[in-house]
């Protein structure tokens, strides 16, 4: 094969980042193989560039030939310039024999490119007999799960990284539940020794452009792991986190609403496929009694005598439900009842109000809509497909009252600016694939 083609860039930056994630989190051997080949190509091209800069002291041809040989043992000449498409689970690539084209901005142009199923394309790029069908099946499954994260970088962090990502200075946006988090202020950073020091605590985060878009504490108690309340900038991220947790066989909370002092949290278990709520009484043994305490969502009950935190309440415990680094005596617990669902809360501020529906409720019986920036009663909730590729919460009455912006097709709601829609000869909206 010609060196001009074999040494073309193998991976886009975005695809390279996803493969690095698969290596770091799944130890995926195919992803590792592609990254190693990509690095060899990069080293070869860097060497050529240095030769051009210093023609008097060129790198010996034997070294350049060695790079070519090593690349050839790892890759076929089937294709180069691979990237994972954003709008479909396919790999776009430049086939052999085709000249690479570039835009004025230096990006890969669409001309001469093809696309296909990731497993099939990657197998042809690597060549036959290197990995088994089972290896490719695992690779494709993990890659598809990562692709379904909607372009967000999902990772687990621990220690001081938890303190860092709690700070709103590092947020991509301050909207939805993440923007409303009471622990996001810089002055709260001293309260997080508990999260940073307890080995049982990690945090699942979603990054967009290296900024935080969602977070959830993850607790390992014995052989069981559960994901705590999810804080996010848009509704789709909650579903992404739940799907991720299910893939890892973690326990998840039955709901994602605020918990009132004195109330216990139920969980969905991987043991029954997340079908029934179960009562799990998790106990966290503390490394020490901390000087300051954060507002804690689920592990909020502090037993000072036994030096533990629990997910279930007792009258002889304290509640870590203050935002000033202190805790509340159980004797001081007050209850406020939601007028809709009857859930009780320790603070009237836990109630929410829907301007469009002119209705007061709580996060247990209402959902936030980032489409209209308002709360939606559960009985009104519908899901709208937009160009983001995700479903967004909205209200039935709102949708029906705005036919210029939303349309119901075959039982599903769509935004009228969704690229998958087209108007037929009668001027009615329909799906392009149905045309």
First to last CA, the chain: 44
- Mean pLDDT along residues 58-64: 78
In the chain, what percentage of residues exceed pLDDT 90?
Answer: 43
Of 147, 167, 200, the position where a domain reaches its end is: 147
Structural domain count, the chain: 3
Q: Which two tokens stand for residue 40?
A: 């060899």
Q: How far apart are CA 26 and CA 10, in angstroms?
A: 21
Q: Are 215 and 155 in contact (CB under 8 A)?
A: no
Retrieve residue 24's tokens: 């770091």
Question: Quick one: 166 and 74 in the same domain?
Answer: no
**Is the pLDDT assigned to residue 158 strictly greater than 50?**
yes
> What integer is the mean pLDDT of 275-295?
92
Local confidence band at 193 (pLDDT 50, 70, 90 cut-offs): very high
> Which CATH number belongs to the domain containing residue 172 in this structure?
3.40.630
Q: Do 160 and 93 have their domain in common?
A: no
What is the three-state SS of the chain?
Answer: CCHHHHCCCCECHHHHHHHHHHHHHHCCHHHHHHHHHHHHHHHHHHHHHHHHHCCCCCCCHHHHHHHHHHHHHHCCCCEEEEEECCCCCCEEEEECCCCCCECCCCCECCCCCEEECHHHHHHHHHCCCCCCHHHHHHHHHHHHHHHCCCCCEEEEECCHHHHHHHCHHHECCCCHHHHCCCCCCHHHHHHHHHHHHCCCEEEEEEEECCEEEEEEEEEEECCEEEECCCEECCHHHHHHHHHHHHHCCCEEECCCCCCCCCCCCCEECHHHCCCCEECCCCEEECCCCCCCCCCCCCCCEEECCCCEEECCCCCCCEECCCCCCCCEEHHHCCCEECCCCCCEECCHHHCEEECCCCEEECCCCEEEECCCCEEEEHHHEEEEECCCCCEEEEEHHHHHCCCCCEEEECCEEEECCCCCEEECCCCCEEEHHHC
**Structure confidence by residue, pLDDT tens digits, 415-432:** 888 877 888 888 888 887
In a shared domain, residues 123 and 214: no
Give the pLDDT score at 122: 97
Model confidence at 318, pLDDT cuts 50, 70, 90, reads confident
**232: in domain:** yes
Residue 398 lies in a domain: yes
Summarize pLDDT for 363-391 with one digit per residue, the tens.
Answer: 778 888 888 899 999 889 888 888 755 56
pLDDT at 7 over 80: yes
- % of residues, the chain, pLDDT over 70: 92
Q: What is the pLDDT of residues 259-280, one digit of tens each?
A: 776 677 889 999 998 988 888 8
Same domain for 92 and 181, yes or no, is no
**Predicted confidence band at 361 (pLDDT cuts at 50, 70, 90)?**
confident
Rounded to whole angstroms, the Cα distance separating 405 from 384 reads 11
Average pLDDT, the chain: 86
> Do both 120 and 167 map to the same domain?
no
- The reply to whether 133 and 190 lie within a common domain is no
Residue with tokens 């415990």: 317
**Same domain assignment for residues 142 and 211:** no
> For residue 322, is pLDDT > 90?
no
- 348, part of any domain: no
CA distance 192 to 433: 51
User: Which of these three, 307, 329, 351, is where a domain ends?
Assistant: 329
Sign of CA dihedral 192, 193, 196, 198: negative
343 close to 364: Cβ distance less than 8 angstroms: yes
With a cut of 60, say whether residue 435 has pLDDT above it: no
Domain boundary among 275, 306, 329: 329
Task: Judge if 282 and 210 occupy the same domain.
Answer: yes
Pair 319, 389 in one domain = no
Per DSSP, what are the bridge partners of residue 91? 84, 116
What is the extent of the structural domain holding 35?
3-147
What is the reported pLDDT for 185?
A: 87
- Does residue 94 surpass a pLDDT of 80? yes
Residue 135 resides in a domain: yes
Average of pLDDT values for 1-10? 78
Spatial CA neighbour of 333 closest among 315, 307, 350, 356:
315
Contact of 169 with 184, CB cutoff 8 Å? no
- pLDDT for 335: 60
Domain identity same for 101 and 250: no
Two tokens at 352? 């929410």
* 350 in a structural domain: no
* Domain-embedded: residue 335: no
| Sequence-separated (6 or more) residues with CB below 8 Å from residue 118 | 84, 89, 90, 91, 140, 143, 144
In-domain check, residue 257: yes
Q: Higher confidence at residue 322 or residue 100?
A: 100
Enter the pTM of the model. Answer: 0.53
pLDDT at residue 347, rounded to an integer: 61
pLDDT at 16: 92
Q: Say what the pLDDT of residue 1 is.
A: 44
Q: What is the largest CA-CA distance in the chain?
A: 83
- The neighbour count for residue 5, using CB atoms within 10 Å, is 17
Query: Does a structural domain hold residue 340?
Result: no
Q: Taking Cα atoms as reference points, which of 89, 155, 98, 86 lies closest to residue 122?
A: 89
Q: Do 104 and 232 lie in a common domain?
A: no
Say which residues have a Cβ less than 8 Å from residue 133's Cβ, sequence separation at least 6. none
Give the mean model confidence (pLDDT) for residues 229-240. Answer: 88
| Same domain assignment for residues 170 and 126 | no
pLDDT in tens, 106-155: 889 889 999 999 999 999 999 999 999 999 998 998 888 777 676 688 88
- Please say if the pLDDT value at position 251 is more than 90: yes
């Amino acid at each position: 094969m010609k060196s001009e083609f074999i040494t073309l860039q193998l991976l886009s930056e975005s695809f390279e980042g996803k493969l690095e994630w698969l290596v770091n989190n799944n130890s995926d051997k195919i992803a590792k193989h592609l990254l190693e080949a990509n690095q060899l190509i990069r080293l070869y091209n860097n060497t050529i560039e240095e030769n051009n800069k210093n023609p008097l002291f060129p790198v010996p041809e034997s070294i350049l030939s060695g790079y070519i040989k090593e690349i050839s043992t790892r890759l076929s000449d089937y294709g180069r310039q691979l990237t994972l498409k954003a709008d479909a689970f396919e790999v776009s690539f430049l086939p052999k024999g085709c000249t690479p084209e570039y835009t004025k901005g230096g990006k890969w142009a669409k001309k001469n490119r093809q696309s296909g199923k990731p497993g099939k394309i990657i197998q042809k790029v690597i060549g036959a007999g290197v990995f088994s069908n089972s290896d490719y099946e695992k690779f494709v499954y993990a890659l598809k799960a990562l692709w379904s994260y909607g372009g967000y970088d999902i990772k687990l962090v621990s220690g001081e990284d938890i303190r860092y990502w709690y700070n709103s200075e590092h947020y991509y946006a301050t909207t939805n539940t993440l923007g409303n988090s009471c622990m996001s202020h810089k002055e709260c950073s001293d309260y997080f020794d508990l999260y940073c020091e307890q080995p049982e605590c990690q945090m699942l985060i979603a990054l967009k452009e290296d900024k935080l878009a969602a977070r959830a504490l993850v607790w390992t108690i014995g052989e069981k792991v559960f994901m705590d309340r999810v804080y996010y900038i848009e509704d789709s991220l909650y579903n992404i986190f739940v799907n991720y947790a299910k893939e890892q066989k973690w326990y998840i909370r039955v709901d994602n609403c605020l918990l009132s002092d004195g109330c216990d949290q139920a969980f969905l278990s991987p043991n029954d496929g997340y079908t029934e709520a179960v009562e799990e009484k998790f106990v966290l043994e503390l490394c020490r009694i901390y000087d300051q305490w954060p507002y804690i969502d689920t592990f909020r009950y502090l037993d000072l005598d036994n030096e533990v935190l629990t997910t279930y309440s007792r009258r002889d415990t304290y509640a870590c439900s203050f935002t000033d680094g202190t805790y509340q005596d159980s004797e001081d617990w007050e209850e406020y009842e939601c007028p809709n669902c009857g859930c009780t809360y320790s603070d009237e501020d836990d109630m929410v109000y829907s301007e469009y529906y002119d209705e007061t409720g709580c996060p247990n019986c209402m959902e936030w809509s980032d489409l209209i920036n308002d709360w939606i009663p559960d009985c009104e909730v519908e899901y709208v497909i937009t160009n983001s590729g995700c479903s967004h919460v909205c209200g039935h009455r709102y949708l029906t009252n705005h036919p210029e912006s939303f349309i119901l097709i075959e039982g599903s709601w769509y935004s009228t600016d969704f690229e998958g829609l087209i108007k037929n000869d009668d001027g009615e909206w329909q799906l392009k694939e149905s045309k």
